[in-house]
Amino acid sequence: MDKFQLLFENAPHGMATLDTQGHILEWNLQATQIFGLRKDQCLNQPFNQTLLTQSALKTFKTVLENILNSHLAATTNHHLELMALRHDGTEFPLELTLTPIKAHGDFVIYATMRDLKEVRKETEQAELELHKANMFLNAVVENIPDMVFVKEAKELRFTRFNRAGLELLGFSQHDLIGKNDYDFFPRAEADFFTKMDRNVLDSKSMIDIPEEPIQTNFKGQRFLHTKKVPIYDENGNPAYLLGISEDITDRKLAEETQRNLWKEQQARLDAEKALQLRDDFISIAAHELRTPLTALSLQIQLLEKFETQINPNYAAKYSTLVTSSTEQLGRFEKLVENLLDVSRASAGMLILEKSTEDLSELVKQTLQDNQTRFLKANCTVNLSLAPSVIGSWDKFRIEQVIVNLISNAIKYGAGKPIEITTHIKNKKAVLTIRDHGIGINPEDQKRIFNRFERAVSLKKYGGLGLGLFISQQIIQAHDGEIRVQSTPLEGSTFTVELPV
């Protein structure tokens, strides 16, 4: 069997060869499947009488005569749709194509046959599969979380938008389809989009736009990462433009926030480094100052011993100078000690030497030691001290806190009464010191416990702003709490709570 005969026998359609009188010369397997007739049952039989219904005979005969009258013009196909008969007598619609061909010096007619019922079934099935494929493709496009759009290449008008794109832009399909960028976006944006689109179509290649701003209908300005690709027609020319855009606004904001956090963290580290350098300097300076202070103190004490040997005419002045020098030296020593305390507190080296103490007695002793200061400031002190307010505390440090709070009350409430109370509440020893001075603004009340912080002008009120910071560090080292309540121009109340 030659190749042609092999192709003939295994063709996907029914095939037969006819002579010029319409008799069957060849018959393939697919024809047997269609009609239910074997090859030996068909050979040399007239095609029309064997296979066609009575109503189809005339049409077949007319076409066959036309073929003969046209002198069997080669490659001319004659298409017919006729009612045919199966071997069992049932009728069915047949698609018949007759093609005259010269073979081996003789003309034969090739007949190609298809059962139109099966053809229609196949067509319907193909249409159904195509519909399913389109539905699936539509579902994929619609559910892509990024914006997907298609523009026709000539005027760049939108032909397709998915759900994510509609939600991002805030428009409906009806609003967008058939429109271009200039119908929705500011001209500068539309010019940019159009320029990129033309670049894609002209270069016939994809363009990746890492970031582009876009003005939406409801979400304001957003930022997109867009890729644009040309889609070609059957001739290889760009017919459409496909765009896929990812909304990177939230990621961009998150990255910006992260950068800002990093900058803040870096600034905080720089500030901490600067504070550490300052603390180191303060610690070194305070220690270095202690040596000359000790020598100066000894010299003042020596001057006090020689006071009786001074000329009586200068004795009073001499005594005043020694007393003043002693007081100034005391202030300087306190300043140095405060600077050292700041350094210790910052380094976590504020050591406590605890013993059993009575808070009320510590207040009395401190007031007695500072009686002269109250007299100079013209401040009366009203006491309400509970007996036996006992706890385990560092005596020196608690007295330091009391002195700092009393000093502030005298400084900012000079000439006005000061009230001091002690009592026990909820298993805590409570100390309150209230003045009727200038008060503290609400926005300053937390800040004043930071080192070197002040709520008043340095020109009007002296000090480095260390007392409250040191006091807070001492109280917190005792697992206690210090706080303030204040109203400007009415005074301040500082409360200290210590565990008993």
Q: Looking at 107-116, 172-181, 302-311, which range is the least confident one?
A: 302-311
- Of residues 318 and 403, the one with the higher pLDDT is 403
* Closest by CA position to 392, among listed 433, 358, 354, 434: 354
Evaluate the CA torsion angle 16, 17, 23, 27 in order and state its sign: negative
Q: What is the pLDDT of residues 170-186, one digit of tens each?
A: 999 999 999 999 998 99
Residue 342 has pLDDT above 70, yes or no: no
**pTM (2 decimals)?**
0.47
Domains of the chain: 3-116 (3.30.450.20), 144-247 (3.30.450.20), 253-346 (1.10.287), 354-499 (3.30.565.10)
Tally the C-alpha atoms within 13 A of residue 49's C-alpha that lie toward its C-beta: 8
| pLDDT above 60 (res 308) | yes
Enumerate long-range contacts of 207-213, CB under 8 Å, 24 or more apart: 211/248, 211/252, 213/189
What's the CA gap between 212 and 334, in Å, rounded? 64
Q: What is the mean pLDDT of residues 35-48?
A: 92
Of the chain, the percentage scoring pLDDT greater than 70 comes to 80
* 444, 445, 449, 454 alpha-carbon torsion, rounded to 10°: 40
Using DSSP, state whether 126 is helix, strand or coil. Answer: helix
Query: Residue 285 has what pLDDT?
Result: 53
Question: What's the chain's average pLDDT?
Answer: 86
**Which residues make Cβ contacts (< 8 Å) with residue 422, sequence separation at least 6?**
359, 360, 363, 384, 385, 386, 389, 429, 430, 431, 432
Whether 467 and 404 have beta carbons less than 8 Å apart is answered as: yes
Q: What is the CA radius of gyration of the chain?
A: 53
Identify the pLDDT of residue 329: 60
